Structure 1
Amino acid sequence: MGMRRKFSEKNRWRGIVVIESIKVILRLVMLKVTRRPIVSPAIPERDFDPASLPPSSIHSSPTLVPTTPPTSPPATPDHLKNNHVPLQPSSLMMTPPPPGRSDSSIEDYLLPKALTTSAVRPSLQLVAPLASIQDWLAEVIYIIRPLIYVSMLSAHRHKDRALLTALAIDILSRNLRRAPSSSSSVERDEYARRDRDLVWYLLRGSAWELYTRPKLESLVEKAAHVPGLSLISSLVKDWVPLIDEYYYYTAL
């Protein structure tokens, strides 16, 4: 968007090609160093923010016995401070345990079921290394696909040819890549994300101009007269020009 406003068309395409070239070089370096498929994001994201946890739960576990006993007796709750009638003990507390019952604590029951450090897979084992030439070829052509796409757009301005070439490379990479093992959830999620990204081809080039946009505009016009859907149709109608102007390289 910034290059569109400040640079000429020729310089815009040069900048796009340079940016994609840098991205391809960095991804190829990562591929050579790790010898594994490039996943996105490269660093796994946490399900929660550790900073949001209370301080006591970071240093100790509620399921384990405290390492040091409390120095002071527990404070009396506020709702019991004015209670002058002693609480009668429960009959369950007065009943002795059965003869065959052991005095093992709850930790003895929970600890064998808890995960240990040896049960957690190291980071290098989350994704298996590339083993065959076919695996390497599938990953390399997937990495260079965006650079080929923008290079064809900047050199010849043939949107249809560039779109079909990028789609063919994407499908070829999909057919050449290996089938991830059942234990490699990270690799399966990455390949599933790549498969979902194929849908974005409907918003590019002639696929967008000749098929997706007319269908979407027709749907918006019909929904504009339906109560409750008019607001959504107006939002989509305002969003459509952004596809033509800013979102993709074909808009430059």
Structure 2
Amino acid sequence: MAQRAWHVYERFLVSNASQITALESSLRSITYILPGRFKDAEIAGEAIYAGVHLLGMYHDSVLFKIVYSRRDKGTDSLVKQARDELAGDLPKMSLHARYTNYWRSSSRMYRSAALMLMMIEATQLLIEMIARRKTRTHAWDIIVGIETLKALLRLGLVRASQDRPVIEPCLPQREIDPSLLEKRATTDLDTWRGERTGITHRSLHTLMAPKNQPSSEEPDLYDYLLSHTLTDQDVAPPARLVRTLQGTIGSAAESLWILRPLLYVLALRKWGKRDFKPYVLSISMELFARFLRRRSFYLPYDDATKLPVPPMSSVSLMLSMLGIENSFFDWVAGSLSNTDPRYQLTKPISSVERDEWTARNRSLWWYLVRGPAWYNYTRPKIQGLVRRTENKRIIGIFGSIAGEYLPLVDDYYYYTAT
């Protein structure tokens, strides 16, 4: 009975994908303006947000299965029917989706750990809010428990992916236009169906502009074909999109990055949010983990001697022209230049690695809303902005919303956690 009910809901989702996506977006937007509107509004808003997030994760899995699953005997009738009714060509799967879907499909441990981690991240703020209302003295113990579980799950992801760094989000995300699942009025001449896959594609003549159509309104056939072009990364095995951790240094860097939130929470519980010790400890660990990650990709000395001799840097060349020969200056110039062949090894090999490293580097901005930086610099700035705009008509609305979040950032850890 329950399975039949889920099938009915999935059919409803397939038939109304665009409307459900718009409803999810609207509910998320509403939760941003709820805090301060009534008593316990922040808990109500976070409960709605967490529920929509969890439901959206389920929707993502259903839509991904419909669009990208293979047509085999194990495919259920709902997926087969929905794929047969897809309007137009399927979008190319992103590299992130290829990588995460590969490990989700090939490793049961990865699938379980990734699903549990994303569920915890979706509900952790709501759990903290309830904990601080029910048992405020033990709220930090609950937060420590959450961070401990998250650290264990991330370490499990590293092991399940055969010693590769954690890629977040660790499951495929919604990357398709839900309107693809809606039926459209098309003729048999406008589409053709593949014999092997059974997927319906647009005919190329639909992209050709009529003779009486202005050139400015012609469909961009080049962009259409370019969007279906495969690159070397598109055909590479998914596991090779992210390199394994390089030796002991690489493993230490990833472990330090995974354990940093837990150690930060333990320091906050001991010294408090206004103390400098947790703040300095956390940012030092994050920067050191970043340094170790880059150093782990450098070749050992024996292998480095086999590399070609790098060209002279512009600074060293200028010093040589001026007749200045100093080993220290040459060392500084070589360190600042990117001519060392080993430097190329520190660059990401795919967009999956690049996006993950960029996200980790960007997370350093969160330190502006944590600890002493928040109380001594950022909070006074925002509070002053709220006071200056409180009598303005339109700007005052946004200022009041920002003002309602100030005490929430003061009280709850997960508003600024990463």
Larger RCO (CA within 8 A; separation ≥ 6): 1
**Equivalent position to 1:194, from 360, 363, 380:** 360
Residue 217 of structure 1, CA deviation: 0.9
Corresponding residue for residue 219 of structure 1: 385
1:37 match: secondary structure: coil
Give the alignment partner of residue 25 of structure 1, picking from 133, 152, 163.
Answer: 152
Is 1:5 aligned with 2:133?
yes
- The residue that corresponds to 2:258 in the other structure is 143
Which letter maps to 1:7?
Answer: T
Give, in whole Å, the separation in 2 of the partners of 1:19 and 1:199: 23
User: Letter of the aligned partner of 1:41 in structure 2?
Assistant: P
1:229 and 2:395 are equivalent in the alignment:
yes
5+ residue gaps, structure 2, are 1-128, 184-190, 206-210, 212-224, 295-344
1:158-213 Cα distance to aligned partner (Å, 9 max, x none): 63211110111111112221365454111111111111111111111121111111
CA pair 249-223 structure 1, distance change in 2 beyond 3 A: closer
Counting matched residue pairs gives 206
Supply the AA of the counterpart residue of 1:211: Y
CA drift of 1:236 comes to 1.2
Q: CA deviation at 1:53?
A: 2.5
1:47 aligns to 2:192 (yes or no) = no
Deviations 1:69-92 (A, max 9, x none): xxxxxxxxxxxxxxxxxxxxx9xx
Cα deviations across residues 45-65 of structure 1 (Å, max 9, x unaligned)?
A: 242156843468872222489
Is contact 2:408-2:415 (8 Å) kept? no
Correspondence 1:129-168 to 2 at 5 A = 129-157=244-272, 159-168=275-284
How far apart in 2 are the matches of 1:50 and 1:249? 30
AA of the residue aligned to 1:131: Q
Shift of 1:142: 0.3
Quick check: 1:121 aligned with 2:236?
yes
CA distance in 2, matches of 1:128, 1:192: 16
Normalising by structure 1, we get a TM-score of: 0.70
CA distance in 2, matches of 1:205, 1:115: 47
Alignment check: 8 A CA contact 1:204 1:248 kept: no
146-155 or 41-50, larger mean C-alpha shift: 41-50
Structure 1 residue 173 and structure 2 residue 313: aligned? no
Q: 1 CA distance for matches of 2:156 and 2:133? A: 33
Would the alpha carbon gap of residues 190 and 153 (structure 1) be closer, same or farther in structure 2, given more than 3 Å must change? same
Q: CA RMSD in A?
A: 3.3
Give the number of the structure whose residues are more often helix, by fraction: 2
- The 10-residue stretch of structure 1 (139-148 or 152-161) with the greater mean CA deviation from structure 2: 152-161
Unaligned runs of 5+ in 1: 66-89, 91-109
Q: Which amino acid aligns with 2:146?
A: I
